[in-house]
Structure 1
Amino acid sequence: MTSPTPASAPHADATGPLSGLVVADFSRILAGPYATMLLADLGAEVVKVEGPSGDDTRTWMPPVRDGISTYYLGVNRNKRSIALNLKDPDDLGLARELAGRADVLIENMRPGGMARFGLDFDSVRATNPGIVYASISGFGSTPEGAKLAGYDLMVQGISGLMSLTGDPAGEAYRAGISVFDVMAGMHAAIGILAAINHRHATGQGQHVEVNLLSSALSGLVNHSSAAVAGGVTPYRMGNAHPSLFPYEPLPTADGAIIVIAGNNGQFALLCDVLGVPELAEDDRFQSNEDRTARRDQLKPLLVDALAKGTTEEWFARFREKGLPGGPVNTVPEGVAFADSIGLEPVVEVGEGDAAIPSVRNPISFSTTPPSYRYAPPALDEHGDEVRAWLRRPRG
């Protein structure tokens, strides 16, 4: 049994595994737009619905490119923008028509917010039973969770992540990126695709809910497992790992290099590369548990060996021997390294002088690769086109 087929999208020229899928994107800022960009890269036709003032991230600057926020540019390629004022009856009618034609609707208003406009799941499902309706919130749709605004920094603090980040003797720090917004966006994309697969079998849509706090607790993996299964409270260790050593940056003659020995074989190889093979035979360091328990004894021995070479020299030796580790790069250096090993991390999106450099979608397909069709849209750039499509009869 297949799902109802919506009217053709306004400009369905995409290729990819999601080609033909119409996504009504009522989300803003990061988690939702990141999810819909992933879907758009894979061929979905995403119509980005913005209020008259546009997505908040259009104003989040610096940095900028040609006067446009690079934050906004980073999560909005391959979409078409229409500006709709949901308090205006005509615009609200268009929004409801879009929801009725879409395969997927994604939103991240505070729980209950879409109901004010008759755009909640039950209302949309009444005319579009095949809709896959995805809601992203900060703390879920329970009565208490719904009262809380959802920002990544709040969740980093409340989830416990910040208690794990920073110097052990210093204050707690946020991660350098909005890690749980990104994680929730990926979880939303996974949930949407799972619901689409269910719809292929049954013809029925469903409501997919993701919240940042649940994504955070899932994403804390070994630390949240330690809390719920081990009854312990993980704590801040700087760059050290609670269950593994060595697994952190260590100083070299001119900087630092990340050193990793995830098992006994890697530890023996590390000792050989560093010119201290006797450490692999030392009774104190025979297992990972031994090395972790005696890190205060082992660490200075490794640091002494690393002091005999530069970061670049050690990284070259590590790579030659297949030993994990590497330098602590800046972001531009990270992009350059990915390019140097053939990952081609940067793609040009758009045409001619208007093309925007963008980071490649991380998923590769042997048959249906991602496509980069058009640059992040200006506010209401495709408004006339989308309005004309929505006013045409369905079918």
Structure 2
Amino acid sequence: MMLGDLGAEVIKVEHPKGGDDTRAWGPPFAENQDHADTTAGESAYFLCVNRNKKSVTVNMKSKGGRELLHDLVRQSDVLVENYLPGKLASMGMGYEELSKINPRLVYASITGYGQDGPYADRPGYDVIIEAEAGLMHITGEPDGVPVKVGVAITDLTTGLYAKGAILAALIQRGMTGKGQHIDCSLLESQVASLANIASNYLVGGREAKRMGTAHPSIVPYQVFPTKDSFMMIGAGNDGQFAKFCQRVGLQDLVDDARFKTNADRVQHRQELIQLIEDELTQQGTQYWLDQLQGAGFPFAPINNIAQTFDHPQIKARGLVHEVDHPRAGKIKMVGPPTKFSGFKPSVRLPPPTLGAHTNEVLETVLGYDKQHIESLRSDGAIGK
């Protein structure tokens, strides 16, 4: 999707029967009440990441299907796949074979554990890797059980790493004329995303623990209760801490020897947090938001999803796009988040219905005539 947002023509290859599993992941489903098709519901899960793609249905187990995909590879810059290592090679679609067909091909494999090693043949899922790669261990309240992040963050992080690797490989291909195989795993992407937590262990031998919303190295830097809800306060240095204290009526803490520096505040974390909570719970969140406005340090309410999309900055930046879907009618989606001065990413195509572009791609991209296409269809190489 991210490559499609940047202007790439993306062809999504799906199995003729059912297609992408996430098409059935619901509710909720987007439905056009005025549409005559009673099967018009589209999974919100599928809709969120499949814009700017064309759907082609291919049975890779058939001879005609494999030949079709080989023809497509000849004209493609990038192939992205997430099969278990060796699975596509057994079907004539591995990197070694396809690189002979198109030496310029950038072939990106995304797996749970990588292409080799003792765990290579294990299937990988976001929540499994969150558990296995340390993220779940550090997520949750100090006295609570490990919990997963609210979205599939390991999947998303791995996608971002893969996108960067693909773009880098395309730049290198521009210099060498040759493509290459990219090996991207959920496990390694998640470990890399441990960031300072990983460094604390590797450099200092410090084992991490769950801290709720608190920061292991900065105080105060966490969610605090107010009289009616919660809010996030981030005072990342001594100057910001002083400004915070002045705005909430805790000026005496600035000169308290226990809290003079960040190191002091980390050492006396529990005492300071209790003093701040005692003060903030005297008033509601909106009162404190007004008090802290323009204070020169970061703070925020804890918004729900409705409040997030009603946020004035989100509206001003035009992040939500509305597109016409052929079966679900008008749907809203989160658009490309990055702005460019010389280029505007856009939602050119709505998420496709299953196989919607099979004929178009076979005719315009591969140059197949109608007779050839119907022959493939009758042989079961492509969907109906």
TM-score over 0.5 for the alignment? yes
Displacement after TM superposition at 1:351 (Å): 6.6
The superposition leaves residues 229-283 of structure 1 with CA deviations (integer Å, 9 ceiling, x where unpaired) of: 2212101122222111111111112111111110011101101110222211211
Find the residue that maps to 1:146 and give its secondary structure. coil
CA distance in 2, matches of 1:136, 1:57: 17
Displacement after TM superposition at 1:338 (Å): 5.3
CA distance in 1, matches of 2:204, 2:319: 40
Q: In structure 1, what is the equivalent of residue 344 of structure 2?
A: 369
Q: In structure 2, what is the equivalent of residue 9 of structure 1?
A: none
CA distance in 2, matches of 1:237, 1:340: 29
- Out of 42, 47, 72, the residue aligned to residue 68 of structure 1 is 42
Question: 1:114-263 counterparts in 2 under 5 A?
Answer: 114-263=88-237
CA distance in 2, matches of 1:229, 1:168: 23
CA distance in 2, matches of 1:181, 1:211: 10
Q: In structure 1, what is the equivalent of residue 2 of structure 2?
A: 38
CA distance in 1, matches of 2:280, 2:146: 29
State the AA in 2 paired with 1:39.
Answer: L
Deviates more, 1:199-208 or 1:339-348: 339-348
Find the residue that maps to 1:190 and give its secondary structure. helix
Q: In structure 1, what is the equivalent of residue 34 of structure 2?
A: none
Change (3 A) 1:49 1:154: same
Q: Is the 8 A contact 1:99 1:119 kept in 2?
A: no
Identity level (%): 39
State the AA in 2 paired with 1:371.
Answer: S
- Out of 305, 326, 343, the residue aligned to residue 331 of structure 1 is 305
Deviates more, 1:375-384 or 1:227-236: 227-236
- Out of 354, 373, 376, the residue aligned to residue 379 of structure 1 is 354
Supply the RMSD in Å over aligned alpha carbons: 1.6
CA distance in 2, matches of 1:205, 1:159: 30
CA distance in 1, matches of 2:162, 2:314: 32
Deviates more, 1:301-310 or 1:248-257: 301-310
Q: Is the 8 A contact 1:82 1:383 kept in 2?
A: yes
Question: 1:259-274 counterparts in 2 under 5 A?
Answer: 259-274=233-248
Q: In structure 2, what is the equivalent of residue 24 of structure 1?
A: none
Change (3 A) 1:340 1:123: closer
Q: In structure 2, what is the equivalent of residue 54 of structure 1?
A: 19
Displacement after TM superposition at 1:390 (Å): 4.5
Displacement after TM superposition at 1:305 (Å): 2.0
Task: Determine if the alignment matches structure 1 residue 83 to structure 2 residue 64.
Answer: no
Find the residue that maps to 1:80 and give its secondary structure. strand
Q: Is the 8 A contact 2:138 2:208 kept in 1?
A: yes
Find the residue that maps to 2:265 and give its secondary structure. helix
- Out of 113, 116, 128, the residue aligned to residue 87 of structure 2 is 113
Q: Is the 8 A contact 1:355 1:375 kept in 2?
A: no
Structure 1 unaligned blocks of 5 or more: 1-36
State the AA in 1 paired with 2:196.
Answer: N
Q: In structure 2, what is the equivalent of residue 313 of structure 1?
A: 287
Find the residue that maps to 1:75 and give its secondary structure. coil
Change (3 A) 1:322 1:351: farther
The superposition leaves residues 135-166 of structure 1 with CA deviations (integer Å, 9 ceiling, x where unpaired) of: 10000111423211010011001001111111
Change (3 A) 1:159 1:338: farther
The superposition leaves residues 73-130 of structure 1 with CA deviations (integer Å, 9 ceiling, x where unpaired) of: 0000010000101011112211111112100111001111110221111111102111
Find the residue that maps to 2:83 and give its secondary structure. coil
Displacement after TM superposition at 1:62 (Å): 1.5
Deviates more, 1:204-213 or 1:227-236: 227-236
Structure 2 unaligned blocks of 5 or more: 32-40, 369-384
CA distance in 2, matches of 1:104, 1:312: 50
CA distance in 1, matches of 2:324, 2:6: 16
CA distance in 2, matches of 1:342, 1:277: 36
Q: Give 1 or 2 for the bigger CA radius of gyration.
A: 2
Change (3 A) 1:308 1:170: closer
Find the residue that maps to 1:342 and give its secondary structure. helix
Q: In structure 1, what is the equivalent of residue 66 of structure 2?
A: 92
